[in-house]
Structure 1
Amino acid sequence: MKNYFLITSLIFALNTNVNSQVRAWIRVNQLGYLPNDKKAAILLSEENITIKSFSIYNALTDELEYKSDEIIPYGNFGNFKSTFRLNFSNLREEGSYKIKIDSIESPVIRIFKNAYDGSADFLLNYMRQQRCGYNPILNDSCHTSDGFIIYHPALDSTHIDATGGWHDASDYLQYVTTSANAVYLMLFAYEQNQNCFSDEYENNGIKKANGIPDILDEAKWGIDWLLKMNPKADEMYNQIADDRDHRGFRLPNEDTISYGKGLERPVYYCTGKPQGMFRYKNRSDGIASTAGKFASAFALGSEVFKKYFTEYAEKLKQKAIEAYDYGKRNPGVCQTAPCISPYFYEEENWVDDMQLAAASLYKLTGEKKFLDDAITFGRQERTT
């Protein structure tokens, strides 16, 4: 009986202790903050709480360094009944800190002038890891037999060289939809912040400087693949492989999934009509969403790469104009294709892709017709 009461008392004590703790978290920029930048943290609580101030302590000495009442309450958010924005922009001294509010404590906060150094280049490690063809992380090649054409009225089942590019995710499918977007964003990031990127890798992803910023090496890897997926002005491909790929975990250089032609994988020709090899189909009704992505990536690539590769840049300019014209002749969305599962990238908009393409071509060529088109497409945009 004594043991029963002892166990019961312990359970009650444990439950009381847990319930007495406020279930709340402080979210901070884990990368860090620059000394003179605006600085904020977010407090999220599963309970209704009120706070009037917060304190910041040195993470090493636990000495009080800063106290503030600059708090903005935001009320309910999702599962959280109380949310607050904590402003500590006036804390400019370099160092490592923690925010404390009663029993609530933040992760370590880093304030340093070099807090972001190397972060832009670090992200490129993921892109190199996703490379198809030669993969520098594995120091081996994969999917070198890609691929055989499907849905083309005259070239169905014939071979096309579509090696290169990036795997889309943890599977090994490849899409123009995502790859062209990645190319454009890398080029845009470089254009806007050229001093943020270093040169430590070659174009093939091996660590050795080659005189070209690494982000441009990576963008060019993507553009070279896009050129293969758009071999002629009126010939575009949107996808390699499909969800038949989803048959367990394996390294890309050990991928032996068969689509009926040895190790070749299907390369989907853009028809502007619904596609899907088996039960499930997408809702494609045009090609402009894909053509616009080709055009914008090629146009910005032409502008950025003219400093390094004159002939290549001129080729990209011509390809951008051709892809744009093809998109204008084939309005509508070109969605990725499902197969054995009903899932695919269900983009419903194409005017935004053509608007970006037109704006990019205007910036590249200075021709007013592209500016006029960009304005026209912008007025058709239903979502901004």
Structure 2
Amino acid sequence: MIDIVRTAQKTSQKSNRETCSEPSECTAEFLVLEPAGYPMASVLDEYPEISDPGVFEHYAREQWKGYIARKGDYLLDRRMFPDFAYKVTDVEPPGSVIGQDTRIIVRDPVISSVPVVEFRSDVTFDDVIGQQNARKKCKLIERFLEAPEKFGKWAPRNVLFFGPSGTGKTMLAKALANKAHVPILPVKATELIGEFVGEGARQIHQLYERAQEMAPCIIFIDELDAIALDRRHQELRGDVAEIVNALLTEMDGIVERPGVCTIGATNRTDTIDPAVRSRFEEEIEFTLPDEMERLAILESNVKTFPVPVKDVDLKAIARMTGELSGRDLVGKVLKTALHNVIIEDRENVTQDDLLSSVKKIKNIQPPSNADRMYI
């Protein structure tokens, strides 16, 4: 395909320089198209297959004859696949007219694959501080992954982790995979949203096909609300019907994938489509750490500082940091204090450094109400 296009480019550049003064007065020597899709996602999930390029080229010249072709424009099919759009990726000369002798080439669509990364987690349950109720409920998933064949139709195939951001949902999923000695496929939901119609649905099916090959395993979909958006909120970011339908198909087990457990994570259950939420057999809540848990998080992480601490009262810091998540404590309190000490070329992290970090985050963070984050 590339050789054909390059040959056409060389030939057309020479001939058109000799015969045309204005591109719009010239007949296009060749036109390269790429399938772009239908204007509405619900029409078709797949691209029309061109079985005979010669027949397609004949019909294409007939219906688009006289059109001025410019790179980046879209040509709508009115005869073969009504309303299907093709994007002009190359035309020579630019802005020339499609004629009876124009060579029309259709490239395969550029479909990105879901960035699935399989890995074996080294996170343990000891790394997850607090969340005792969530850890207890995860025993069910652990038993299932250890012996999927024993569960049959009673398998916990779909589980929802919900709660404020930074409370350890991802860490617990990784620890669970480690404990059960199974791989985990972590994916951010935003990565499943494709550029072309049908791409998102394809990526979801590819994700589950990959998981089936490695079963037993965990599919961990973070930020689930990005794709499973309630229909009442869809006007905020467009129609996601095709993605939701593909996800529901997989969660319903229409194609049996034994040994695959889907864990969705969100901090906004109020925005998830009820049809998706109803597919989760189990919902596991994650809560903000209490004072004792905050102290444990601080003590555990301070031990790994590359700079020693001096005269710090972590109990006082724990009392002052109510409504902060574990991630906030590590990333916005401890890390900020440590970085300031390193930048200022000082030898120790002191209580004043930690207090300064707490004061900063309290000043920039509006009063939060965890109950509003999820229902």
Instruction: Decide: shared fold, TM above 0.5.
Output: no
- Between structure 1 and structure 2, the one with the greater Rg is 2
TM-score where L is the length of structure 2: 0.29
TM-score by length of 1: 0.29
More helix by share: 2
